[in-house]
Amino acid sequence: CEVGEAVTGLKVETGEWLWTELVKSVTPMCTNVFSGASRWGTGVGGSAGTKNTFYVYCPAGKVAVGLNGRKGGYIDALGLRCQ
């Protein structure tokens, strides 16, 4: 996100590897702290086929202050900590 923006959501795409659904890519939703306008930021991760797409958002008026998730050899769960 740019200066003056905060992360308020995530687009999480998953892929499948050895019959296991794993996080493949993550794209932040960037919200301007002054105007409230939102846009999708630059994503990170792979570009192979997508199994599912999940959207995670902070409640209205809150912004992301951290991430939570679960991993072993790969990331298999991802969420936001909002404040």
pLDDT tens-place values along the chain, 83 residues long: 999 999 999 999 888 777 777 888 899 999 999 999 999 999 988 776 778 899 999 999 999 999 998 888 777 788 899 99
Looking up tokens 């209205």, which residue turns up? 60
Token pair listed for 17: 């590897």
CA–CA dist 55, 43 (Å, integer): 13
Exposure b/e, 49-72, CB count within 10 A at least 16 = b: eeeeeeebebeeeeebeeeeeeee
**Is the full-model pTM beyond 0.85?**
no
Token pair listed for 26: 């993550």
Instruction: Answer whether 11's CB lies under 8 Å from 78's CB.
Output: no
